[in-house]
Amino acid sequence: MRLGSWFKWTFLLAFLAVFLVPGVYAAQGYPNLSKTKELVIKRGYSKEALQCIECHAKKTPGIVEDWKNSRMAHAGVSCYDCHVVPKSSPMASQCEGVRGTNIYTSPMVSPKTCARCHPTEVEQFEKSAHSRLASAPVVEKKKFQVLMYHLEGGEFMGIPKGDPRTTATRRSGCQMCHGGKVELGPDKKPVKGTWPGGIGHRYPDGGIGNCTVCHNRHRFSIAEARKPEACGKCHLGPDHPNIEIYYESSHGQRFLTEGEEWNWEAAPDAWEPGDYTAPTCATCHMSGIGELSTTHNVTERLKWDLVHAKSVIRSGERGNGERGRKLMKKVCLNCHSSLHVETHFKKLDDVVALYNTYIENVQKMLADLKAKGLLKKDKWKDPIQELYYYLWHHTGRRARHGAAMDGPDYAHWHGFFQIFQIYKDIEDLYNYRIKHGKIEELSPVMSTGPL
């Protein structure tokens, strides 16, 4: 939001705060409200909108209390605005309280609804990997279906197709971070655990994404989304330890020691150094800072693809790498000299080049073995292929992400040190297979691999 419209909303907020909020805050006692307040509320909310609040204050008080503290409640946006849908909507059902009326509701709220009032944020979000690409592995890509259902879901142990156990790992893992796709029952409510879902969840109205992973419902706070914990829920663990790297970095050190004193509530595009002394994930990847405006496209400021086996400069639907680097540097230059910034990114580019050398060598060995028929068909039973997976997906990402975001322990001990160890094991297995013209019978490799 540009500064101008922020002022506009703030003005609206101030206006409503005087006339409306006292009534909203007294929601517990709606039936006992004085006549004046009731009139004022009725001016802010229609009768239909009020009935949702009143009944839900009794049935789901946690939701109403949370919503009451949100900026949107203060601006008069209520349950009705987000959950009521036309009868023709593919998601139109009726909650217990409106059954038999001509009001239709949906527990699902896709970014299409938010776009009615926040078109810019939704448009930027849709261009990012957080939207469609995030749920692509869960919804579109065959090889991950094999992993989710057949392998992890236990079909390989004889659990029959369609047994709820086969979708348990998808529902509890992948879907909650990446998102999946909502399936509806005859009553138009979601079935088979296909809702709720993570950041790229796909809705029957065509909306893709879930804004509440960072702005949790029903507070929808920007302060929350600016904190590293908003991202750390998904960006953690052995394959992308971003929150761990952040806590290790000098930036995280400042956040952990003095973050409580920072001004998290500043207006969007007006959250600047001074409100904080070190960047959070949001500052570098999303927030307006200096001449940069806020963006909901986390892909925009990236140069390298540091996710996949080989790192290449981003292009196409994965962004524009050279432009990304320029934008990211602009973030740093608010607090660092160009000497410091250039030093940092030269280091990152060299790390990527070294990592790529390791991976290219391993890929050559694997191609050679494949040509000679010396790879097992099931890669999860083949030590050399399993090691290759850990090499790029775990240790290789850690080294690259650690170097990108000032986490030396991840760049080195959880990163390059283990890359080097795995590389030597791979080399031994390769040499054995080439020398003996067969796959080794007993493997020295533990199937859990390096953690």
User: Looking at beta carbons only, is 166 or 299 nearer to ligand HEC?
Assistant: 299
**Per CB under 6 A, 309 contacts ligand HEC:** no
Name which of 37 and 227 has its Cβ closer to ligand HEC. Answer: 227
Q: Are 290 and 330 in contact (CB under 8 A)?
A: yes
Instruction: Kindly state the smallest distance separating residue 32's Cβ from ligand HEC, in Å.
Output: 18
Residue 385 within binding range of ligand HEC, rule CB under 6 A: no
Only segment of 153-161, 173-181, 373-381, 423-431 that touches ligand HEC (CB under 6 A): 173-181
d(CA 394, CA 102): 53
CB pairs under 8 A, 24+ apart, for 370-376? 372/433, 372/434, 372/437, 374/433, 374/434, 374/437, 374/438, 374/439, 375/439, 376/439
Binding mask 411-440 for ligand HEC (x = CB under 6 A): ------------------------------
The single residue among 213, 351, 359, 387 that binds ligand HEC, judged by CB under 6 A, is 213
Closer CB to ligand HEC, residue 336 or residue 376?
336
184 belongs to the binding site for ligand HEC (CB under 6 A): no
Contact with ligand HEC (CB under 6 A) among 37, 202, 285, 414: 285
Give the separation between CA 208 and CA 181, rounded to whole angstroms: 9
CA atoms within 13 A on the CB side of 9: 17
Report the site for ligand HEC in 261-280 (rule: CB under 6 A).
268-269, 271, 273, 276-280
* Interatomic CA distance for residues 39 and 22, integer angstroms: 12
Nearer to ligand HEC, 116 or 165 (CB): 116
- Cα 153 to Cα 136, 144, 177, 275: the distances in Å are 19, 11, 17, 47
Residue from 4, 47, 96, 157 that binds ligand HEC (CB under 6 A)?
96
Per CB under 6 A, does 129 bind ligand HEC?
yes
Nearest to 84 by CA among 67, 102, 63: 102
Q: Cis before residue 218, ω within 30 degrees of 0?
A: yes
Q: Using the rule CB under 6 A, is 84 a contact of ligand HEC?
A: yes
Tokens of 358: 């390791």
Q: How far is the CB of 248 from ligand HEC (least distance, A)?
A: 11
Listed ranges 29-37, 191-199, 371-379, 384-392: which one lies at the site for ligand HEC (CB under 6 A): 191-199
Angle 21-23-27 from CA coordinates, rounded to 5°: 110
The least distance separating ligand HEC from the CB of residue 89, rounded to whole angstroms, comes to: 13
Chosen residue from 20, 21, 41, 137 binding ligand HEC by CB under 6 A = 137
Q: Is 77 in the site for ligand HEC (CB under 6 A)?
A: yes
213, with CB counted inside 10 A (0-12, 13-18, 19+), is buried
By CB under 6 A, tell whether 375 contacts ligand HEC: no
